[in-house]
Amino acid sequence: MKNTFVFVLMTAFLCLSATNICSEDNCSSFLVTKGASKDGSVMITYTCDGEFLPHLEYTPAQDHKKGEVIEITGWRGEVMGHVKQVPHTYAVVGLMNEHQVAIGETTFGGRPELRNPDGLLHYFTLMNLALQRSQTARKAIQVMTELVNEYGYASTGESFSIADPEEAWIMEMIGPGKGGQGAIWVAVRIPDGYISGHANMARIGTFPLDNPENCLYSENVISFAQEKGYYDQSSGDPFSFRKAYDPPKPSSLRTCAARVWSMFRRSAPSLNLSPDFQRGVKGAERYPLWIKPDHKLSLQDVMDIMRDHYEGTPFDMTKGIDAGPFGCPVRYRGLTWEVDGIKYSWERPISTQQTGFSFISQSRSWLPNPIGGVYWYGVDDTYTTCYVPLYCSIDDVPESFTKGDLQGFSWDSAWWVFNFVANYANLRYSDMVKDIKKVQARLEGQFQSLQPIIEKTALELYQSDPDLLTAYLTNYSVSQGEEVVKQWIELGEFLLTKYNDGYVKDKNGRPRGLGYPEEWLKKVIQSKPKQFKLPPWGDEKKDGRLH
């Protein structure tokens, strides 16, 4: 027998297509260990950024017959190869499985000559296979590395966030080049009480070679670099994975290192981390792989970090003439551009309009797996999305999150609904985003307030009727997801009515022309000092002429 891995590979090609648009700025990931979180959760985040329309998937747990294989097909349906199936696979909701294991990623690209065109497994395929086969984060690392050893790794450099109820890991992997075997990789456990992050740059530098509890790596991670001339042991410098396999590029600092800097500066203001490295200042110190936050982070804190536009810093994207008259943080691609022979770059924030979907996973060791794992899922821009709680034990997902086509708008698709609201808000961002944030805060606040109540009942059902527990959590997750989409449709209709033709309706429904902010008008006058100025209006002479 054979199973066709349609969802995994289709999604992989979508993400790879998005990555190929601009491989240096497509995803962001933030990791919070249990000792660094307010409630003891292990949390990771993932923004899958790119111009594609995601379909949320549920994969049920299954038993498989001996000799069964998975047929890996390309996006045109051609068979690329086969992977041996295991006797039992676990249920997966999105990128979190029934054992509270969650995986995210960001692409760092690295050395292009190391991509292996003969490899079978892309990074997204690895993530999904690992989730179906792993009960812990460590096991996921083992599954992914054994799979690439057997079937070959097809992607460029990749950083993975891997979490379970006890641990959070970063694993970085790159291929061996055409004709090579397996992959080169290193995985490091984030110390409890600390946080980490990555955003399209390799983050692991030096690492211990004799601490398997906290660091795992491929046998050839150093020797391969020596063979290729990426590392000279005689230099006396300690081996650094990121230096060998992802040499820094100026564009990566501005679009990638800046996001990690912002995650850290928001989590630990007391460190006063300098922006010099992300601004490309020569000799500036790199940001550490992990830091201790000033205070333990709540789920809401993590949501807020994923909605960052560098607010409150000199790089605040809601300020300045580039934000337009209404403080809009959206910057259209391409991020780098040239005027009169000089190269420039927009800021690239964590929150971007190009996000396809994002999640925040909660893995909680003090609760049974069916209740402990929550996959907070949202589509489109993190700043204007609404995260819906999907428990890891559910056996269905909200239908509107499974629909949609990038080529045709539909109110039946959650992605299009959120996209409509976000895009319309760009017309008068500073005003409309306040209306969006009110609805967002009300719904997400309601979900977080209800969580203890929902889980109290769930725990009672866990002891008495596991089947009813699944039905209960599924009904709650699905109904809340569909209710969010319904309210977002209403929000879109409200915005279209309130902000129409440049007018803003007051609380009585009367259209008012509010014009533009004075600060922006002053900049307009500076750019064209004579064009908009009205002539002086004097007294009428007897002959009727004006002076």
- DSSP secondary structure string, 245-281? HS---HHHIIIIIHHHHHHHHHH-GGG---STTTTT-
Query: With 80 as the cut, is the pLDDT of residue 46 above it?
Result: yes
339 lies in the same domain as 445: no
28 lies in the same domain as 88: yes
Please report which confidence band the pLDDT of residue 73 belongs to, taking 50, 70 and 90 as the band edges.
confident
- Listed range (19-23, 31-35, 223-227) with the worst mean pLDDT: 19-23
Classify residue 344 as exposed, middle or buried by CB count within 10 Å of its CB (0-12, 13-18, 19+): exposed
For 385, phi then psi, to 5°, come to -85, 175
The total number of residues written for the chain in this structure: 547
Q: Which two tokens stand for residue 214?
A: 């906290």
Average pLDDT along the chain: 93
13 lies in the same domain as 158: yes
Query: With 60 as the cut, is the pLDDT of residue 545 above it?
Result: no
373 lies in the same domain as 335: no
Please report which confidence band the pLDDT of residue 2 belongs to, taking 50, 70 and 90 as the band edges.
low
User: Whole-prediction pTM value?
Assistant: 0.94
The parent domain of residue 436 ranges over 367-505
Q: Looking at the domain assignment, is residue 547 inside a domain?
A: no
Please report which confidence band the pLDDT of residue 541 belongs to, taking 50, 70 and 90 as the band edges.
low
Q: What's the CA gap between 64 and 45, in Å, rounded?
A: 32
Average pLDDT over residues 326-344: 92
Amino acid 3: pLDDT: 58
- Cα dihedral 82, 86, 88, 93, rounded to 10, equals -50
32 lies in the same domain as 168: yes
417 lies in the same domain as 317: no
Average pLDDT over residues 200-209: 97
Total domains in the chain come to: 2
Please report which confidence band the pLDDT of residue 538 belongs to, taking 50, 70 and 90 as the band edges.
low
Average pLDDT over residues 390-397: 98
Q: Looking at the domain assignment, is residue 520 inside a domain?
A: no
Amino acid 222: pLDDT: 98
6 lies in the same domain as 76: yes
Residue 239 CB: number of other CB atoms within 10 A?
18
Q: Looking at the domain assignment, is residue 511 inside a domain?
A: no
Amino acid 22: pLDDT: 37
Q: Looking at the domain assignment, is residue 517 inside a domain?
A: no
Amino acid 535: pLDDT: 87
Cis geometry, peptide bond prior to residue 334 (ω within 30 degrees of 0):
yes
- Listed range (19-23, 26-30, 160-164, 177-181) with the worst mean pLDDT: 19-23
Amino acid 14: pLDDT: 44
Average pLDDT over residues 229-249: 94
- Listed range (248-257, 323-332, 393-402) with the worst mean pLDDT: 248-257
Question: Which residue in this structure is represented by tokens 């966030």?
Answer: 161
Q: Looking at the domain assignment, is residue 357 inside a domain?
A: no
Q: What's the CA gap between 247 and 265, in Å, rounded?
A: 24
Classify residue 162 as exposed, middle or buried by CB count within 10 Å of its CB (0-12, 13-18, 19+): buried
Amino acid 216: pLDDT: 98
Q: Looking at the domain assignment, is residue 510 inside a domain?
A: no
Q: What percent of the chain has pLDDT over 90?
A: 88
Average pLDDT over residues 178-192: 97
Amino acid 20: pLDDT: 39
Residue 117 CB: number of other CB atoms within 10 A?
10
Query: With 80 as the cut, is the pLDDT of residue 365 above it?
Result: yes
Please report which confidence band the pLDDT of residue 260 belongs to, taking 50, 70 and 90 as the band edges.
very high
311 lies in the same domain as 388: no
272 lies in the same domain as 385: no
10 lies in the same domain as 80: yes
Instruction: Examine the fold and report which residue of 283, 312, 345 is the final residue of a domain before the chain moves on.
Output: 345
Please report which confidence band the pLDDT of residue 360 belongs to, taking 50, 70 and 90 as the band edges.
very high
Query: With 60 as the cut, is the pLDDT of residue 327 above it?
Result: yes
- 374 within 8 A of 360, measured Cβ to Cβ: no
Residue 219 CB: number of other CB atoms within 10 A?
9
Residue 74 CB: number of other CB atoms within 10 A?
12
Q: Which two tokens stand for residue 289?
A: 């792989």
**At a CB cut-off of 8 Å and minimum separation 6, what does 287 contact?**
257, 260, 261, 264, 273, 277, 278
Query: With 90 as the cut, is the pLDDT of residue 539 above it?
Result: no
Q: What's the CA gap between 109 and 187, in Å, rounded?
A: 17
**Cα–Cα–Cα angle for 357, 359, 361, nearest 5°?**
165
Query: With 80 as the cut, is the pLDDT of residue 175 above it?
Result: yes
316 lies in the same domain as 412: no
Please report which confidence band the pLDDT of residue 506 belongs to, taking 50, 70 and 90 as the band edges.
very high
Amino acid 9: pLDDT: 40
- Note the pLDDT tens digit of each residue in 450-468: 999 999 999 999 999 999 9
Q: What's the CA gap between 471 and 459, in Å, rounded?
A: 13
Average pLDDT over residues 88-95: 98
Q: Looking at the domain assignment, is residue 182 inside a domain?
A: yes
Query: With 80 as the cut, is the pLDDT of residue 18 above it?
Result: no
Q: Looking at the domain assignment, is residue 518 inside a domain?
A: no
340 lies in the same domain as 227: yes
Cis geometry, peptide bond prior to residue 373 (ω within 30 degrees of 0):
no
